Amino acid sequence: MSPAYNENIPNSYEAPLRSEQEMLDLILTVARADERIRAVVLNGSRANPNAPRDLLQDFDVIYLVRGSSEPFRADRDWIGQFGELMILQLPEEMGDPPPSGNYDAVYLAQFMDGNRIDLSVYPLERWPELKNDSLSVLLLDKDGAIGALPPASEASYLPTPPDAKAFADCCNEFWWVSPYAAKGLWRRELPYAKATLDENVRAQLMKMLRWQIGIQTGFKINPGKEGKYFERYLPPEQWALLLRTYADADYSRNWDALEAMGALFRQAACFVAEHYGFDYPAGEDERVSAFLRRIRALPPGAKTLD
């Protein structure tokens, strides 16, 4: 039997949050004191000049070391010098999700004061394959082995234009998986319906919206991971329609969300198709949309589609 949850655990967030400068100073202090660590690179949102700044941003850090990273991987207590741990994940030691297979030391550490460090330790010789991340700021280079880096930018994270096949595949997948969600809703299999709606169907919708935003911004703007900046770039009416695609556990509202997804996908896909001269599969859209309406109107337990 699992031990009972202790409701008397103290509120850990009463600990004062260390500032960005305090954390960066600590990251560099640890690196300077360890002869094995030869360079330090900052990645992620704290390296991004365009990212909104707030107290919950992670510190994505790379330590480049002389020789193997295995000693850092073997010493699990090593990460403790950065603060009191709330929870630690070692992705290279996990089976699900599977590790990268590079056998590097990766520490994902959430500390009790609210700060988080995602710290990767790589052999110095791996730098040529890592330096392609445009959001990279060199914090320390003991030997001059890294050299000057270009100013951090979002170049690696910008959407890329679709070709005709990518566009066609996205449209086909969206309309192919939409009936799966409809069947789940009609059968009142809510977990299955929600998973299909919010994972499979939404994935294609978000892809198409990224292409639309890319066209509207010249593919020079990063719309953010999982569309987190979409509100900035979508027309207000499309943003309002996107919000309607997020439903609770009510079956009727999930049906409405599925219909809103179809309407928004159609708008974005027709915009992209017109811009590039692609063929939008209007026939598939019409037939699948009609089928979804039939399923929604179907009485529970019906034996035919009539």
Q: Are 123 and 67 in contact (CB under 8 A)?
A: yes
Tell me, yes or no, whether 222 and 204 share the same domain. Answer: yes
Q: Given the DSSP bridges, would you call strands 37-43 and 136-141 parallel, antiparallel or unpaired?
A: antiparallel
Give the per-residue pLDDT at 46. 94
With a CB cutoff of 8 Å and minimum separation 6, the contacts of 55 are 17, 114
Q: Which of 102, 129, 155 is a domain's end point?
A: 155
Tell me, yes or no, whether 142 and 231 share the same domain. Answer: no
With a CB cutoff of 8 Å and minimum separation 6, the contacts of 118 are 44, 58, 59, 60, 61, 106, 107, 108, 109
Tell me, yes or no, whether 174 and 284 share the same domain. Answer: yes
Is 22 part of any domain? yes
Domain enclosing residue 281, as ranges = 164-297
- pLDDT at position 1 over 70: no
Give the per-residue pLDDT at 6. 54
Angle, CA of 140, 142 and 146, to the nearest 5°: 70
Q: Decide which of 139 and 3 is more confident.
A: 139
Averaged pLDDT for residues 270-276: 98
Q: Tell me the per-residue pLDDT of 30-77, one tens digit each, with 9 for 90 and over.
A: 999 999 999 999 999 999 988 888 888 999 999 999 999 999 988 989
Band of pLDDT at residue 104, cut at 50, 70 and 90: confident
Tell me, yes or no, whether 212 and 260 share the same domain. Answer: yes
Q: Decide which of 303 and 247 is more confident.
A: 247
- pLDDT at position 2 over 90: no
- pLDDT at position 9 over 80: no
CATH of the domain at 73: 3.30.460.10
Is 195 part of any domain? yes
- pLDDT at position 103 over 90: no
Q: Are 145 and 110 in contact (CB under 8 A)?
A: no
Tell me, yes or no, whether 19 and 151 share the same domain. Answer: yes
Domains held by the chain: number: 2
Q: Tell me the per-residue pLDDT of 184-222, one tens digit each, with 9 for 90 and over.
A: 999 999 999 999 999 999 999 999 999 999 999 999 999
Rounded Cα gap, residues 135 and 132, in angstroms: 9
Averaged pLDDT for residues 121-150: 93
Tell me, yes or no, whether 50 and 90 share the same domain. Answer: yes
Averaged pLDDT for residues 131-151: 93
Give the per-residue pLDDT at 95. 84
User: E strand or H helix at 208, and its extent?
Assistant: helix 202-216
Tell me, yes or no, whether 148 and 38 share the same domain. Answer: yes
Whole-number Cα distances in Å, 90 to 58, 59, 99, 110, 208:
16, 16, 9, 12, 34
Range of 6-20, 21-35, 102-116 with top mean pLDDT: 21-35
Mean pLDDT (the chain, rounded)? 92
Give the per-residue pLDDT at 43. 95
Give the per-residue pLDDT at 7. 56
Give the per-residue pLDDT at 11. 53
Task: Determine which of 166-170, 182-186, 229-233, 296-300 has the lowest per-residue pLDDT on average.
Answer: 296-300
Tell me, yes or no, whether 263 and 215 share the same domain. Answer: yes
Q: What is the model's pTM?
A: 0.85
